[in-house]
Chains A and B, each alone.
Chain A
Amino acid sequence: MSGDTYRVAGLILALIAAYFVIPDAFVMDLWIRIMLISVVVIGLNLLFGYTGQISLGHAGFIGIGSYGSAIMTAHLQIHPVLGLLAMAVATGFFAYLIARPILSLKGHHLAMATLGIGVIVTIVLNNETAWTGGSDGLVVEPLRLFGGPIYDGGQWYVIAAGMLVVVVWGALNLVRSPAGRALRAIHGSEIAAQVAGIDVSALKVRIFALSAILASVVGSLEAHYLGFISPGTAGFGRSILLMTMVVVGGMGSVFGSILGAAILLLLPQVLAAVSVWETAAFGIVLVATMIFMPRGLVPTIGSLVRRRAR
């Protein structure tokens, strides 16, 4: 128990310290976005890094959360928090429905099926312009908590950080628990897992739904935070970005997910002067990581450190 408690405590301290070191609103915005997307990446990592189920359409769930919340608050006058919860439930339900048939597929088939779902979501978002505004995008109301609207960066930082800490804690616990071991066993050998008594398809469906719900919640928050969303939020490009964050940061590593998110959101900032190189650099990062560090940064560094310690 102690190892993880220290890690979570360390994270909380780091987030508090970071808050006071942030120089301006621009950096604050960046960190908020990193923290929000980290939650999605952790969810995706649980599905992909731990359980080995590839999902190339995960941004679709972010889009569902974003647009669902935006439409509910704008057209249906529903309170943002209620909208967020409603979308979380709806996305979970949707994910649950499609998960069982889709997760019976493996490898390329699963990749394509999940990719297809993501693309179909994007196409719907682009075309149902009456509800979604199509490719012009949609303006979103701010989040409202305890009465007042939340505009202040500082308040959003607290919300995003709070969510991240809770999700990290939950994920670390899950990984060490019997359910977490079962997920990793599924990754190792589905047949051996079944023989050991694990209901493999049920567990795959549940972790898929969980990761979809996390993406939806972040989508809702993002929509209220950014104030404006467009169909690209659910697109294939974003799904690849999420996968890259998992892969670079570390498959099967909770803190690796945060690191991957940070690196890949900071990369465009670093390349700001030569922004036209962004896509190419991105491609190089993907290829190089998979060849030289296939397990991602955190596990690879972790192994190196452990080997030195011997």
Chain B
Amino acid sequence: MSAQFLQFLFAGLTVGAIYALAGLGYALVYSASGVINFAQGQFVMLGAMATVGLLGAGLPYFAAVPVAIIITIVVGMLAEKLAVRPAHGSSIVTLIVITLGVGELIKGSVQVVLDRSTHTLPSIGGGGTVDIAGAFISTQGLWVIGVTFLCVLLVGYFLNSTLTGKAMRAVSCNRLAAQLVGIKPDRMLLMSFAISAALGAIGGILITPISFISYDSGTMIGLKGFVAAALGGLGNAPGAIVGGLVLGLLESFTAGYISSAYKDAVAFILIILVFFVTPNGLFGAKSSERV
């Protein structure tokens, strides 16, 4: 296995991890409510930009990061309460437009409060590279993959082994039945927004040392996160993670072996193809309309 191949592989897994986190956010919100939160990408941007702002205000890194994540969680919960919940029951189109609007609002607010420039964050543990089989792998990249893996484990544990997590899954299976056993779907939806905001923020903070961030970075990441979630079957959490990694790898290999200019197109060409081959994603369940 050539060093170059390993390099691309690793780069793909790194960026794929971020897509996986964003995709997981989409999957959680979608399964709790059927809403595609087009503002998810802005959560990624917000986590990173908030950290930048807090560092600029003088906070040390180990304080800025959790505060930034909390800010993003709060924004996510506000978005659910003020924008998504009032529109409950509206058409898909209305919800898409609302979440797009929320995304623009977050983006615009960051532009006002901070600025339009590109920023970076310090690498965890100081940075540097490691030589693995001839390929130079950044330590930050290792952190990205490691922390993402940890997040995925935590979310998995939460969904499968805690009562609240199971309640969330109940709501996504059958909202009415969940209500009848005393679960509050609105609370679960709020929680799904909070968790996906946190996941997005963590992703943003992790990737910024490698690929930088600015107020408008969120859009592309969000779209690709959505592609990841759709690849895995909307609402399917493990599927979204696999989808994210697959997308990251495909992008990386395309950039490496075909053309780096068109790597962004990979996500969109892929999703269009997937929609026609397996409309419910690689792992999604079949759905049908009642006639």
Contacts and interface: CB of A to CB of B under 8 A. Distances in A.
Interface of A: 48, 52, 54, 56, 101-102, 105, 107-109, 111-113, 115-117, 119-120, 123-124, 126-127, 191, 236-237, 240, 243-244, 247, 276-287, 290-291, 294
Nearest to A49: B93
A-B interface, 5 closest residue pairs, ranked by CB to CB distance from nearest = A280-B108, A286-B101, A283-B105, A279-B108, A283-B104
B258 interface: no
B109 A116 contact: no
A244 B97 CA distance: 8
Contact of B108 (A105, A282, A294): A282
Nearest to B106: A283
Nearest to B95: A290
A263 B277 CA distance: 41
A41 to B, nearest CB: 15
Contacts of A277: 108, 112
Nearest to A192: B291
B183 interface: no
Contacts of B36: 108, 111
Contact of A109 (B97, B105, B223, B275): B275
Contact of A285 (B94, B101, B109, B112): B101
Contact of B86 (A243, A280, A285, A291): A291
B273 to A, nearest CB: 10
Contacts of B226: 112
A182 B102 CA distance: 34
B92 A109 contact: no
B98 A287 contact: yes
B272 interface: yes
A113 B271 contact: yes
Interface of B: 36, 83, 86-87, 90, 92-94, 96-98, 100-109, 111-112, 219, 223, 226-227, 230, 234, 261-262, 264-265, 267-269, 271-272, 275-276, 279, 289, 291
Q: Which of A278, A282, A283 has the most CB of B within 10 A?
A: A283
Contact of B107 (A112, A123, A283, A285): A283
B112 A276 contact: yes
Contact of A287 (B101, B267, B269): B101
Given A120-B269, A127-B262, A290 B108 contact: no
A290 B94 contact: yes
B265 A283 contact: no
Contacts, number: 119
B98 A284 contact: no
A152 B234 CA distance: 52
A133 B264 CA distance: 19
11 contacts: A123-B265, A236-B219, A243-B97, A279-B104, A280-B108, A282-B104, A283-B107, A284-B101, A286-B98, A290-B87, A290-B101
Nearest to A115: B223
Q: Which of A108, A113, A126 has the most CB of B within 10 A?
A: A108
Contacts of B279: 105, 109
Given A108-B234, A119-B265, A283 B112 contact: no
A112 B105 contact: no
Nearest to B291: A191
B96 A108 contact: yes
Contacts of A124: 265
Contacts of B105: 279-280, 283-284, 287
A239 B106 CA distance: 18
B117 to A, nearest CB: 13
A101 B276 contact: yes
B101 A120 contact: no
Given A276-B111, A280-B111, A116 B102 contact: no
A213 B217 CA distance: 31
A130 to B, nearest CB: 12
Contacts of A105: 275, 279
Given A54-B96, A119-B268, A286 B87 contact: no
Contacts of B289: 191
Contacts of A116: 267-269, 271-272
Q: Which of A102, A115, A116, A127 has the most CB of B within 10 A?
A: A116
A277 B215 CA distance: 13
Contacts of A126: 261
Nearest to B270: A116
A52 B91 CA distance: 10
Contact of B92 (A107, A127, A278): A107
